């Protein structure tokens, strides 16, 4: 690249740039004004009779499968909701979703939420704790209702965030799960934990270890791995060395689950494996039917049971073809709950809707669902419902149990 | 002089911008532009010497982490943390630079790339005090809190604007000074420069440290503005984006990285709705830029200007066309 | 003792795979002084081709593999003619344009193939044990293929005309021209071979770890580290360095957790660049 010396170019550049000698700084100003013009046009949907639901989800990067599944689930749920519409007084409202890719990077999530807040969005859904936690302060200050599908603790849920709701039991499933394990597998004592080494993983690990101990289990190992790693032999070698009877995969999602299970089995692990947030078919494909056999899938629906689940399943297969990722069911209820809360509150003001949402008892896919867990978080803001459990037999998930939510949590 | 009044006008325009446009999202984008310009210009400073570093994100991270720890754990003021963070980045860069500069070309890229990843890895591995993969949350805004908490993004915009203008002014001065000329000469041929007695490694090291200093500055501002830093942010991809700003903008003078950073940040915001294609667009832009516009946008603009001047000259009557 | 053996075995196998991918990088650099950043994406594309042919079309692996190699070669030569040649193989420019191209290809792959993780079933399922250490048979197959191809490459370079021509160009560009060798043709062969090696690497990684658009990045970075330690342009160096990195990763990964392994890799890279930038064997072949 032939580069002229600095002295020569400067004046000629200054003289050159289009409209009569604009130096580079002013170019900056011009671009800025152009942007301003673009942005100051408010989007057309900020009109009446629609409510915007802004969704900050990972649509690219390693968490994309979750994000894309979320998007499709929300779209279908809103279609059904909007067929009836939400009647508030004389007006009939429909919910319009706007999806933004946060790439699972906090700064992007912040940018996305800033954009939504600037656009006047009042209802936000955020996926992933790394994306939800940095913005909850802002949304609370703006009195915007934020629903998060994420692992979290009191930095996301609690009295200081009255408009923040956790719509997916994530680390919380452990509260229901471990008592059930205790009563169904009385001989099981040694539990090992494996989690991705990030925000979600740490949260899951903390909670699960604590709850396991409370229920009389012994935690024999607590391993972390880099999310998206491919070779699980090193981690699996460490885990096979501790003679665990059950390995809880906690916050591990996606392909990591299958590769870890495969590595564990290849290295001779004979105990139980438990995981959630899974797409059963993909798990079996990648791990191999042998390695997958006997894996316990928590918060996973093996096959659609009731009409609502069947409708969702059939719709998905019809539109996107197999496989239907089983964790889509766990994200299905909350748009309906939001709509119902709006109806009850007879308002689209987020503060009023928050109050209604908190008191709502909803008949969801898995039975009764409501926001609770005041004993843990100080405010009812994390969803509680029955937890379906499946197990892999012969390469397919088979329903095992429906664990009721413990009454004291 | 046209350029000087032009610059002053431009600065006034920028200063008045938030008064005219009160959109918080717009201001947010402007702040990101300010940060990107500082990063691009600091990379350019090093680029004058002919060296391309892929570790800018690493120094930015060091600056950000220093500020985060000083402000959050130590309770120190931002105004003290800012220069300290930049200095910390510079201090770390000295030995790194000494070692890296022993190799040239491709090897230098690789070593800076490696450094960036090592920084990330170290901060990611140690949860205390670096926050591990969690990162560090709730980094306080600068004091006085009344201004920086109560008035939205505007104060940050001005703070970033000042940082950006100061950085550009300093680097511009450096590039036009005797020091800068030496750097240019080293780029052309360091053998030649060395043969006339220039302490080539010494100059390169100073440029390296300077570039790290400003990256640390940008990182410090980032930390207090976003309030949340983590190893997921300061990646190789981030360093590459900075490089794209400079390559697309052009190397010839400081206008290049500025133009590149502004334009491409705007482009990437415009692409937000089709997020998954953003990477592809950037990749294609980079490829097209290197193949078709090797001197960058300002180089191309200059070439256009020279060609049009030549055309004008061709209209001169034959009688005046002497030899 | 068992643990040590397990670590060693695991490390050797993964080391061989990364070594083979790194051979492509070192070949290109030795002959053309070009660092091909697209190499990682060739690994990824090949894995997708194997998936498409083997899983979706149902054809056997031994048909899918050559198909992937051909496709990778086509893409590689395409990059050569469209990207690197117009830049006269200038290092810095090629590096940058390669990065851009790899971003674009990776992103296109996301868009086309979607985010669902895909898997290629193992060619040889099952596990083998000896002395208490476990190895999946598929990993042994992978190791075998890598060793075979490395030997084949060595023979090619030392005992065939095109191979010798390549070594000639690497040793002395001008002299090679004087001997009647057309460098451009040699370059094409180099790209084809390096692409083929990358493709085999991708196919193997696909059977072991699944297929996804990001899968090329890690092998590429590891290749850089390996090639730097072994010496750019040296086959022997790459082989040794590949095994070294594989075993080191296995040790650190098993004993200290996976992330430290990555840091240590890069720390080793920095150390080598400082202590002996030429690597173990410099520019020899």
The pLDDT assigned to B314 comes to 59
| Residue after which a domain boundary falls, among A276, A298, A320 | A298
Sign of CA dihedral C266, C267, C270, C272: negative
Residue A372 counted as domain residue:
yes
Tokens 């689930």 correspond to A73
Q: Cα distance from A349 to chain B (closest Cα, Å)?
A: 21
Let me know whether A203 and A275 are in one domain: yes
The pLDDT assigned to B208 comes to 92
Report the percent of chain A where pLDDT is more than 90.
Answer: 11
Q: Cα distance from B237 to chain C (closest Cα, Å)?
A: 9
Partner residues linked to B156 by β-bridges: none
Contact call for residues C280 and C237 (beta carbons, < 8 A): yes
Residue C63 counted as domain residue:
yes
Let me know whether A85 and A156 are in one domain: yes
Q: What is the rounded CA–CA span in Å between residue A130 and residue A156?
A: 11
Contact C114 A68 (CB under 8 A): yes
The pLDDT assigned to C1 comes to 64
Q: Cα distance from B236 to chain C (closest Cα, Å)?
A: 11
| Residue after which a domain boundary falls, among A257, A282, A298 | A298
Residue C177 counted as domain residue:
yes
Nearest to C118 by CA among A262, A281, A321, A60: A281
Let me know whether A333 and A371 are in one domain: yes
Tokens 């980079």 correspond to B286
* C136/A contact by beta carbon, under 8 A: yes
Compare all CA atoms of chain A with the CA of B249 and give the residue at the minimum distance: A24
Residue C10 counted as domain residue:
yes
- What's the mean pLDDT in A373-390? 84
Compare all CA atoms of chain C with the CA of B116 and give the residue at the minimum distance: C266
Q: What is the rounded CA–CA span in Å between residue B219 and residue C281?
A: 39
* A64/C contact by beta carbon, under 8 A: yes
Contact call for residues C223 and C202 (beta carbons, < 8 A): no
- What's the mean pLDDT in A3-16? 36
Stretch 100-139 of chain A: residues touching chain B, C-beta under 8 Å = 100-101, 103-107, 110-112, 114-115, 117-119, 130, 133-134, 137
Contact B277 C266 (CB under 8 A): no
* A2/C contact by beta carbon, under 8 A: no
Contact B275 A110 (CB under 8 A): no
Chains touching chain C, criterion 3+ CB pairs below 8 Å: A, B
Q: Cα distance from C132 to chain B (closest Cα, Å)?
A: 32
Mean pLDDT by 10 residues, chain C (285 residues): 82 90 88 86 92 85 90 92 84 83 86 76 76 80 89 88 83 81 86 93 88 85 85 84 90 78 79 75 55
Residues of chain B contacting C79 with CB distance shorter than 8 Å? none
Residue C212 counted as domain residue:
yes
Contact call for residues C219 and C40 (beta carbons, < 8 A): yes
Let me know whether A151 and A183 are in one domain: no
Residue A23 counted as domain residue:
no
Please work out, in degrees rounded to the nearest 5, the angle formed at the alpha carbon of residue C99 by the alpha carbons of C50 and B33: 130
ipTM over 0.85: no
Compare all CA atoms of chain C with the CA of A236 and give the residue at the minimum distance: C254
Residue C280 counted as domain residue:
no
Let me know whether A180 and A256 are in one domain: yes
Let me know whether A265 and A184 are in one domain: yes
Q: What is the rounded CA–CA span in Å between residue A17 and residue A261?
A: 61
Q: Structure tokens of B305?
A: 């200007």
Residues of chain C contacting B294 with CB distance shorter than 8 Å? 93
Let me know whether A194 and A127 are in one domain: no
pTM, rounded to two decimals: 0.79
Please work out, in degrees rounded to the nearest 5, the angle formed at the alpha carbon of residue A191 by the alpha carbons of A186 and A194: 145
Let me know whether A164 and A179 are in one domain: no
Contact call for residues C157 and C235 (beta carbons, < 8 A): yes
Q: Structure tokens of A152?
A: 């979290």
Let me know whether A316 and A269 are in one domain: no
Q: Which of C95, C259, C269 sits opposite B125 (nearest CB)?
A: C259
Domain boundaries, position C33:
2-275
Domain total for chain A? 2
CATH code for position A141 = 3.40.50.2300
Domain total for chain C? 1
CATH code for position C261 = 1.10.3470
Let me know whether A291 and A311 are in one domain: no
Q: Which of B124, B266, B275 sits opposite A35 (nearest CB)?
A: B266
Q: Report residue A7's pLDDT band, with 50, 70 and 90 as the boundaries.
A: very low
Q: Does the structure show a pLDDT above 90 at A256?
A: no
Q: Report residue A401's pLDDT band, with 50, 70 and 90 as the boundaries.
A: confident
Let me know whether A214 and A278 are in one domain: yes
The greatest distance separating any two alpha carbons of chain A, rounded to the nearest whole angstrom, comes to: 84
Which residues, other chains included, contact B225 with Cβ-Cβ below 8 Å and sequence gap of 6+?
B31, B35, B141, B156, B160
Q: Does the structure show a pLDDT above 60 at A27?
A: no
Residue C91 counted as domain residue:
yes
Contact B2 A14 (CB under 8 A): yes
Contact A225 C210 (CB under 8 A): no
* A197/B contact by beta carbon, under 8 A: yes
Residue C258 counted as domain residue:
yes
| Residue after which a domain boundary falls, among A229, A263, A298 | A298
Compare all CA atoms of chain A with the CA of C10 and give the residue at the minimum distance: A233
Mean pLDDT by 10 residues, chain B (323 residues): 73 81 80 92 88 88 92 86 92 88 76 85 80 75 75 83 90 83 73 70 87 94 86 82 87 86 85 68 84 77 75 57 46
Residue C284 counted as domain residue:
no
Contact B25 A155 (CB under 8 A): no
Q: Does the structure show a pLDDT above 70 at A62?
A: no
Tokens 């950085």 correspond to B167
Residue A390 counted as domain residue:
no
Q: Which of A4, A21, A115 sits opposite B25 (nearest CB)?
A: A115
Contact A231 C125 (CB under 8 A): no
Q: Cα distance from C284 to chain A (closest Cα, Å)?
A: 30
Let me know whether A151 and A244 are in one domain: no
Mutation site, A233, A260, A282, A395, interface C, largest C CB count within 10 A: A233
Residue A129 counted as domain residue:
yes
Residue A262 counted as domain residue:
yes
Residue A39 counted as domain residue:
no
Q: What is the rounded CA–CA span in Å between residue A201 and residue B50?
A: 43
The pLDDT assigned to A13 comes to 34
Domain boundaries, position A262:
173-298
Residues of chain C contacting A225 with CB distance shorter than 8 Å? 257-259
């Amino acid at each position: 690249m032939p580069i002229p010396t600095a002295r020569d170019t400067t004046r000629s550049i200054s003289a050159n740039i289009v409209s009569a000698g604009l130096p580079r700084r002013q170019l900056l100003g011009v671009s800025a004004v152009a942007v301003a013009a673009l942005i100051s046009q408010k989007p057309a949907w900020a009109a009446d009779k629609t409510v915007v639901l802004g969704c900050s989800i990972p649509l690219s990067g390693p968490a994309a499968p979750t994000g894309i599944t979320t998007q499709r689930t929300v779209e279908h749920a809103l279609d059904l909701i909007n067929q009836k519409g939400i009647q508030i007084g004389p007006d009939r409202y429909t919910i319009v979703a706007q999806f933004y890719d946060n790439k699972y990077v906090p700064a992007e999530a912040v940018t996305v939420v800033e954009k939504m807040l600037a656009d006047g969005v009042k209802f936000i859904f955020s996926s992933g704790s790394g994306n939800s936690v940095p913005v909850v302060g802002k949304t609370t200050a703006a009195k915007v209702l934020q629903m998060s599908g994420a692992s979290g603790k009191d930095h996301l849920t609690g009295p200081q965030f009255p408009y923040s709701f956790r719509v997916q039991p994530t680390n919380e499933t452990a509260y229901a799960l471990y008592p059930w394990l205790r009563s169904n597998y009385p001989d099981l004592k040694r539990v090992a934990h494996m989690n991705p080494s990030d925000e979600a993983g740490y949260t899951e690990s903390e909670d699960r270890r604590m709850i396991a101990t409370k229920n009389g289990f012994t935690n024999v190992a607590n391993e972390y791995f880099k999310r998206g790693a491919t070779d699980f032999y090193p981690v699996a070698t460490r885990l096979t060395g501790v003679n665990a009877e059950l390995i809880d995969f906690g916050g591990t999602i996606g392909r990591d689950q299958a590769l870890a299970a495969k590595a564990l089995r290849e290295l001779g692990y004979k105990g139980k494996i438990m995981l959630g947030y899974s797409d059963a078919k993909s798990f079996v494909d990648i791990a191999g039917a042998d390695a997958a056999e006997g894996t316990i899938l928590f918060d996973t629906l093996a096959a659609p049971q009731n009409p609502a689940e069947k409708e969702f399943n059939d719709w998905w297969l019809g539109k996107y073809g197999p496989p239907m990722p089983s964790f889509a069911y766990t994200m299905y209820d909350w748009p309906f709950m939001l709509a119902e809360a709006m109806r009850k509150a007879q308002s689209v003001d987020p503060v009023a809707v928050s109050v209604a949402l908190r008191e709502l008892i909803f008949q969801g896919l898995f039975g009764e669902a409501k926001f609770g867990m005041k004993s843990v978080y100080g405010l009812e803001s994390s969803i509680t419902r029955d937890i379906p459990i499946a197990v892999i037999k012969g390469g397919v998930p088979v329903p095992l149990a429906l664990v009721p939510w413990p009454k004291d949590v | 002089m046209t350029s000087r009044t032009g610059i002053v006008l431009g600065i006034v325009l920028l200063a008045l911008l938030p008064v005219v446009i009160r959109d918080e999202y717009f201001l947010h984008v402007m702040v990101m532009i300010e940060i990107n310009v500082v990063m691009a210009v600091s990379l350019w400073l090093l680029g004058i010497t002919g060296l391309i570093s892929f570790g800018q994100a690493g120094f930015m991270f060091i600056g950000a982490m220093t500020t985060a720890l000083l402000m959050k754990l130590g309770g120190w003021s931002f105004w003290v943390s800012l220069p300290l963070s930049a200095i910390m980045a510079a201090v770390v860069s000295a030995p790194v630079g000494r070692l890296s500069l022993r190799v040239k070309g491709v090897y230098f890229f690789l070593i800076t790339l490696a450094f960036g990843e090592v920084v990330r890895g170290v901060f990611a591995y140690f949860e205390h005090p670096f926050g591990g993969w969690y990162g560090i949350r709730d980094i306080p805004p600068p004091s006085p809190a009344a201004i920086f908490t109560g008035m939205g993004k505007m104060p940050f915009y001005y703070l970033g604007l000042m940082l950006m203008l100061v950085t550009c002014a300093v680097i511009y001065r450096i590039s036009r000074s005797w020091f800068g000329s030496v750097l240019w000469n080293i780029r052309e041929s360091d053998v030649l420069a060395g043969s006339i007695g220039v302490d080539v490694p010494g100059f390169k090291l100073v440029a390296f440290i300077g570039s790290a200093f400003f990256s640390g500055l940008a990182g410090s501002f980032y930390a207090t503005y976003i309030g949340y830093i983590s190893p997921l942010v300061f990646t190789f991809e981030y360093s590459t984006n900075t490089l794209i700003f400079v390559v697309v903008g052009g190397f010839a003078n400081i206008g290049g990285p500025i133009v590149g950073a502004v334009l491409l940040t705007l482009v990437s915001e415009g692409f937000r709705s089709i997020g998954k294609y953003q990477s592809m667009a950037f990749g294609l832009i980079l490829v097209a830029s290197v193949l078709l516009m090797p001197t960058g946008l300002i180089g191309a603009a200059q070439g256009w200007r020279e060609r049009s001047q030549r055309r004008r000259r061709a209209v001169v009557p034959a009688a005046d066309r002497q030899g | 003792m068992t643990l040590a053996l397990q670590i060693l075995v695991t490390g050797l196998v993964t080391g061989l795979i990364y070594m083979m991918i790194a051979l492509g990088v070192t070949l290109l650099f030795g002959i053309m002084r070009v660092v091909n950043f697209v190499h990682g994406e060739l690994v990824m594309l090949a894995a997708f081709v194997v998936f498409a042919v083997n899983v979706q079309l149902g054809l056997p692996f031994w048909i899918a593999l050559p198909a992937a190699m051909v496709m990778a070669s086509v893409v590689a030569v395409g990059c050569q003619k469209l990207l690197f040649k117009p830049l006269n193989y200038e290092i810095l420019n090629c590096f940058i344009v390669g990065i851009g191209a790899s971003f674009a290809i990776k992103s296109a792959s996301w868009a086309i193939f979607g985010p669902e993780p895909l898997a290629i079933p193992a060619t040889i399922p099952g596990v083998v044990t000896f002395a208490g250490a476990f190895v999946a048979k598929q990993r042994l197959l992978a190791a075998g293929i890598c060793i075979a191809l490395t030997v084949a490459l060595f023979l090619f370079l030392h005992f065939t005309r095109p191979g010798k021509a390549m070594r000639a160009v690497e040793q002395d560009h001008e002299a090679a021209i004087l001997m009647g060798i057309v460098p451009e043709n040699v370059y094409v062969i180099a790209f084809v071979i390096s692409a083929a090696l990358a493709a085999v690497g991708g196919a193997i990684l696909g059977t072991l770890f699944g297929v996804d658009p990001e899968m090329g990045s890690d092998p590429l970075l590891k290749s850089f580290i390996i090639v730097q330690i072994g010496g750019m342009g040296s086959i022997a160096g790459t082989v040794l360095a590949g095994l070294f990195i594989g075993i080191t990763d296995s040790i650190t990964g098993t004993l200290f957790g996976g992330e430290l392994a990555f840091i240590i890799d890069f720390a080793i890279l920095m150390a080598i660049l400082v202590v002996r930038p030429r690597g173990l064997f410099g520019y020899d072949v």
